[in-house]
Amino acid sequence: MDKPIIEIKNPILRIQNLSVSYEKDKYAIADVSVDIKKNLITAIMGPSGCGKSSLIRAMNRMHELYPQIETKGKIFLNEKDISKLSNIELRRKIGMVFQSPNPFPSMSIYDNVIAGYKLNGIRQKKAKRDDIVEKSLKDVALWTEVKDALYKKGNFLSGGQQQRLCIARALAFQPDVILLDEPASALDPVSTSKIENLLVKLKKEYTIVLVTHNMAQAARISDYSMFMYLGELVEYGKTKDLFTNPTDKRTEEYLTGKFG
């Protein structure tokens, strides 16, 4: 599969023949090529174990943490090979939000938002830092809720608020792309819908790649969707098309609840 399933002009992310293996000859992702369009929400769906998390973890090279994982193929961010970027450059441009909320327990809300700068030793004037914190928290609609408790630890926040704090932490770097790995799977429906609304608002400024096993969620908020199965990219297209008129039998079976 040398050519992507659908052509996307000026993609922000271009993935070429990507394979990820955890053990020799055991592929989590096999030869996936796909382009991702700017300022949209792209959802990645599929049953658990299909490789959807592996795919986004390859996009910010989180895989490098685990030496046994082998990655082949190339990924380009704005036509730049990401393997040529340093970790810090890459991860400033591609932020990530995890399945369950994981603010740093030892840090205040303020420090959590600014953590990317602080931990990387990027110095900034206090006023600039304050601006970043305020903008990021406003972007995730958390500002009014926490502005009087900025210097407290975030453990009194609800799960949904914590997750929005984690999104703010990723936004603080003003990344090009935000990767979200089932960000609402640990949350209640009200918090989930808040996060979904937030993502729709955020796509004006950022490109969002969302892994989800919740088909309804993908249908609700994404512009493009891909369906993965057993490490293979089965189908990719506009969400509306994919849901109403899937071309592959497996996609159809998944969407009608035959498996997963």
Q: If binding is defined by CB under 8 A, does position 45 make contact with other proteins?
A: no
Point out which span in 20-28, 87-95, 209-217, 245-253 binds other proteins (CB under 8 A): 87-95
Q: If binding is defined by CB under 8 A, does position 92 make contact with other proteins?
A: yes
Q: If binding is defined by CB under 8 A, does position 96 make contact with other proteins?
A: yes
Q: Which of 37, 70, 73, 98 binds other proteins (CB under 8 A)?
A: 98
Q: In the complex with other proteins, which residue's Cβ is closer, 135 or 220?
A: 135
Environment class of residue 28 by beta-carbon count within 10 Å: exposed (0-12), middle (13-18) or buried (19+)? buried
Q: C-beta of 196: minimal distance to other proteins in Å?
A: 21
Q: For residues 76 and 16, what is the distance between their CA atoms, to the nearest angstrom?
A: 8
Which two tokens mark 167? 């999104």
Q: Which of 104, 185, 252, 253 binds other proteins (CB under 8 A)?
A: 104
Number of residues that bind other proteins (CB under 8 A): 31
Q: For residues 234 and 198, what is the distance between their CA atoms, to the nearest angstrom?
A: 29
User: Phi/psi of residue 73, each to 5°?
Assistant: 100, 180
Looking only at residues 137 through 176 of this chain, which bind other proteins when binding is defined by CB under 8 A? 166, 169-170, 173
Q: If binding is defined by CB under 8 A, does position 185 make contact with other proteins?
A: no
Q: If binding is defined by CB under 8 A, does position 62 make contact with other proteins?
A: yes
Q: CA nearest 56: which of 220, 210, 176?
A: 210
Q: In the complex with other proteins, which residue's Cβ is closer, 67 or 189?
A: 67
Q: If binding is defined by CB under 8 A, does position 65 make contact with other proteins?
A: yes
Q: In the complex with other proteins, which residue's Cβ is closer, 88 or 219?
A: 88
Looking only at residues 111 through 140 of this chain, which bind other proteins when binding is defined by CB under 8 A? 115-116, 118-121
Helix 109-119 with 159-171: angle, nearest 10 deg: 30
The site for other proteins (CB under 8 A) is made up of 60, 62, 65, 86-92, 95-96, 98-100, 102-107, 115-116, 118-121, 166, 169-170, 173
